[in-house]
Amino acid sequence: MKVIIINGPMGVGKTTAGKLIAEKNPGTAFIDGDWCMDLHPFVGNRETKAMAVDNILHMIGNYGQCSACRMVVLVWLMDDAWVREKIRDGLAVLQAEVRSVTLVCDRESLIRRWNDDRSCEWRTDRWLEASLASLPGFEAMENTIDTSGLSAEQAAEEIMRQSFGDQ
């Protein structure tokens, strides 16, 4: 099974690009890592992230057992190296063909996208500042795609191109 992991800061366009990839590729499951730790109120500590990793790997394993599923797109903000390592190691056990990208953009693009997204409860000034502060860390990761000048459709196409060529 093919798995595309899309990482990046809040508001960069992970969910939008991931959903576009799923919609354009029949037999693709879409997983938003936030679903796997949707606690109210939000608690983002090591325990809840470990639980989310376990949930994510369980879901991907189940999709891998489904004959209708050929690919999984996982989107999640993974700024902790241990989270990325646990996901990678778990997917190796599942014998998945994994491609991972990190989306980034410039500050102006992130602010514009943030302000244009009125549907997300996380789009507050406090979380925008946190997202902007996280940009340098994501920019330093491997396999980055700068989406500053790209539409969501173009970003999705670039993710697929970098992940699996021109399939």
Q: Write the CATH number for 112.
A: 3.40.50.300
Which has the closest alpha carbon to 32: 1, 2, 55?
55
55 within domain boundaries: yes
72 within domain boundaries: yes
pLDDT 10s digits, 109-165: 999 999 998 788 888 999 999 999 999 999 999 999 999 999 999 999 999 999 988
Question: Can you say how many angstroms the Cα of residue 156 is from the centroid of all Cα atoms in its chain?
Answer: 12
166 within domain boundaries: no
Q: Does 54 score more than 60 pLDDT?
A: yes
Distance, CA of 91 to CA of 86 (rounded, Å): 8
Domain that holds residue 24: 2-161
Peptide bond into 41 cis (omega under 30): yes
